[in-house]
Structures are given as structure tokens and as C-alpha cells.
Copies of this chain bind each other. A is one copy, B any other.
């Protein structure tokens, strides 16, 4: 009997659309194709590209992306204008991700249309795409500042029209995970089609909100590599992977997890930012242990202070032994590596020396080793360096 697999979210990577809206991002045609190949090899199910009407280069690049023949489906983000949809179809996109701002503030400040007016435009755009046989998503921008009655009117209308999915977008990053659960759950009960979630990070909850959307019934989740996007961005791929893996590794079993560090490094270089020190999985020190209480336990059992195994993600564990926060076990471990084995009393004295020296600044490995060897040199011969033969 085949074991039952858990329901898992499909990843819509929008680095080539939302990510391009990051202030510092400008992808060359070659960069876009390189990144698309890397994301396809990683295993994301969808790649979203900027609308072909954005600029001549955007149209050229979308055509080239479609031409790669990747496993991932190539979709493009287009306004509910029939001309825009026609251009997307002409480029050969596998799907159109339609959107419309439905909140009062966007209706007034952005397009000046009523919900009825935009729904008429949306249905025309949807039918045009459906007639061409491509996948259709329709998203309400700024869903969390939209009246729920308006949202449901729009979602049920486009669902009745047969869209593949509706999109719930936290466009300005205001939602809490609980609010996401509530709204996605409400939409889940109201439509038959799939549900996509897109959430910004203005309130620091982009990863938690994406995971909450999945829990509440969303089928597709938007991410970008590193989380780049308008303002301070959306859910980062590595962050979402970390969160889902912690809940159940099978949720992300379809992806090449060890490729995450290279993916994040690739985009960081392309857009000229550093990988944030606090990035999940790929942050430089995400698997570095420092305080003595931590290094002590990790030497015995890494799981003590590691919920994620670095090896799964192509990373390595590091233990810092030369800081003033170090502990006896970390010092003993470092000493043992030099062939120095100490009595408990000597280890306490040496650790105190290391801490006092490190008060002026953490010791580099070479400095720590020199201190250990100098200490060992003061001890009676057989005690130290015994096993160095």
C-alpha cells in the first residue's frame, strides 16, 4: 500500500516579478534565465514573471523564459485589461496571474473603480485567458483591508467563472497569522478552486502568515528568493522552507534543500545585498553555537540547540570556543583536538583563563590554541599532551 502523503503547498516563486520590484533589483536577461534554471532545479512548481507590458525587455525576457521548457510552470502577473492578457498569451505563458485592488483605499487612490466595475473587467480578462486554455489565477490586492462582503462577492463570482485559483494578498503587510487563518478559512469555505497566498513583511510576519495560510487551506504560496520585493519584501523561500520543515519535513520533501544556500547567494549577488544575518537556514551563523550552555549540550547532542540539521540544507555546524561566554566543555573539546587532556580542576582553571583573556575580545582559533598549549606546558608532563603521540 502506498503511504498517504500529507497535503503540501505548491510554491509560486515570484523573484522575477515581486522580486524585481525590490528597489535594488534589475535582472539582466541572462540573470533571469540563470535564476529560473536554478529555481526549477530546486523544484518550485511555478515561476511568476513581470507583465510583458511593463517594458520591451520584460516581454522579450518572458518569451525567453517560456522558451526554456522548464518543469516549473511560467505564469505572468497582469492587470485585468484584455490587451495585457492578449500580450501574455502571445508570449506563451502557462498562466496569467490577474489582480485587482479591492480595498477602499486602493479603489480610490489606484484605479477609481467600483467593485462592480472591476468585476466586469476581471470576468472579461478571465474568459479571454480561459479560452486560450491557460491557467488563471485572480487575486484581490490588499485583501486584508477589504470588506469581507466585497471579497466574497468577487471570489465567488470568479470561482463560478471557473478560475483555477483565487489569490489572497496581504499587499501592505498588515495581517497577523490569526487574521490570515480566519480570512483564508472563510475563502476556503466559499470557493471550490485553489487558493494562493501572497504576504508582505512590513509587520515582520511574512513567513508565519504564509504558513498560517497553508494551515487554513491555501494550496499555493508566494515567495521570493531572500524575500526581496516592494519595500521590505515578502516571505523568503528559505524562511518558508524552514518553517514548513519544522512542522513536517515531508511538506518540503520534493525540493533540493541543499541547494538553498547557493540560491540565496546567487540572488544576493545579483541584487547587491548581503544575505541577512538573521535569514533562516542560509544566514551566516544560522548553525553557529556560542554560549557555553549551548556548546556544552551541542557537543553531546546537536538536537539540544538545533531544531534543523545543517547537513540537510548543505550547511555545517560551527562551535565558537574562544569567547568570554565559552564553557568548560567547549574548551575541553578544543584542547582534546590538540591532544591536551585535562583534569576537571585544570579544565576549570584553563576555562577561567580563556574567559579572562576573551574579555578583551573573542580569541581566534589560533589564539585559543596557543593559550591552551601554553597552559598545558605549565602542567606536569604526563597529564598533558599524553595522547599526542
Q: Contact at B204–A208, with CB atoms within 8 Å? A: yes
Contacts of A134 in B (CB 8 A): none
Q: Chain copies in the assembly?
A: 2
> 1/0 per position for A230-259, CB-CB distance to B under 8 A?
111101100110110011000000000000
A26 within 8 A of B: yes
- Least Cβ–Cβ distance between A317 and chain B, in angstroms: 10
Contact A203 B304 (CB under 8 A): no
| A110 near B296: Cβ-Cβ < 8 Å | yes
- A328 CB-CB contact with B under 8 Å: no
Shortest beta-carbon distance from A325 to chain B in Å? 6
Q: Does A128 sit at the interface, judged by CB under 8 A? A: no
Q: Once the chains bind, are A205 and B207 in contact (CB under 8 Å)?
A: yes
Min CB distance, A99 to chain B, in Å? 9
**Residue contact B203 to A280, C-beta cutoff 8 Å:** yes
Residues of B within 8 A of A286 (CB): 202, 231-232
In this complex, the member of A50, A54, A227, A289 whose beta carbon has the largest number of chain B beta carbons within 10 angstroms is A54
Q: Is A62 an interface residue (CB 8 A)?
A: no
Q: Looking at chain A, what size class is its interface with the partner chain? A: 35 or more
A55 and B285 form a contact (CB under 8 A)? no
In the complex, A270 has a CB within 8 A of chain B: no
Determine if A54 and B324 form an interchain contact, defined as CB atoms under 8 angstroms apart: yes
Q: Tell me if A289 and B231 are in contact (CB < 8 A).
A: yes
Pick the contact of A203: B79, B246, B292, B362 (CB < 8 A).
B246
A:291-323 near B, CB below 8 Å: 291-294, 296-298, 300-301, 303-308, 318, 320, 323
Asked if A21 is an interface residue, CB under 8 A from chain B, the answer is: yes
Say yes or no for A333: interface residue by CB 8 A criterion.
no
Of A22, A215, A277, A308, which is in contact with the most chain B CB atoms at under 10 Å from its CB?
Answer: A277
- Known: A177-B208, A278-B226. Contact between A361 and B26, CB under 8 A? yes
Is B207's CB under 8 angstroms from A203's CB? yes
Q: Which of A117-125, A167-175, A337-345 contacts B (4 or more CB under 8 A)?
A: A167-175
Is A42 engaged at the interface, CB distance under 8 Å to the other chain?
no
* Any B CB within 8 A of the CB of A273: yes
Q: Which residues of B are found within 8 Å of A79, using beta-carbon distances?
A: 293
- In the complex, are the beta carbons of A301 and B109 less than 8 A apart? yes
B305 near A171: Cβ-Cβ < 8 Å = yes
Q: List chain B residues, Cβ under 8 A from A157.
A: none
A56 within 8 Å of B (CB atoms): yes
Complex CA–CA separation, A301 to B111 (angstroms): 12
Take A205-B208, A230-B289, A301-B109 as given contacts and tell me if A58 and B324 are in contact as well, using a CB distance cutoff of 8 Å.
yes
Interface residues of A in 60-117 (CB under 8 A from B): 79, 101, 105-106, 108-110
Residues of B near A274 (CB, < 8 A) are 273-274, 277
Q: CB of A288 within 8 A of chain B?
A: yes
Measured between alpha carbons, how far is A285 from B203 in the docked complex, in Å?
14
Q: For A301, list chain B residues within 8 Å (CB).
A: 105, 108-109
Q: Which of A7-15, A352-360, A379-387 contacts B (4 or more CB under 8 A)?
A: A352-360
Residues of B within 8 A of A24 (CB): 277, 285
Contact between chains at A177 and B174 (CB < 8 Å) = no
The answer to whether B108 touches A324 (Cβ under 8 A) is: no
In the complex, what's the smallest C-beta–C-beta distance from A142 to chain B, in angstroms?
8
- 16 CB < 8 A contacts A-B: A22-B285, A54-B325, A55-B355, A101-B297, A105-B301, A106-B297, A109-B297, A171-B305, A203-B239, A203-B307, A204-B207, A226-B278, A231-B289, A232-B277, A233-B278, A274-B277
List 7 A-B pairs, minimum CB-CB distance, nearest first: A57-B359, A276-B276, A208-B208, A204-B207, A204-B239, A109-B301, A55-B324
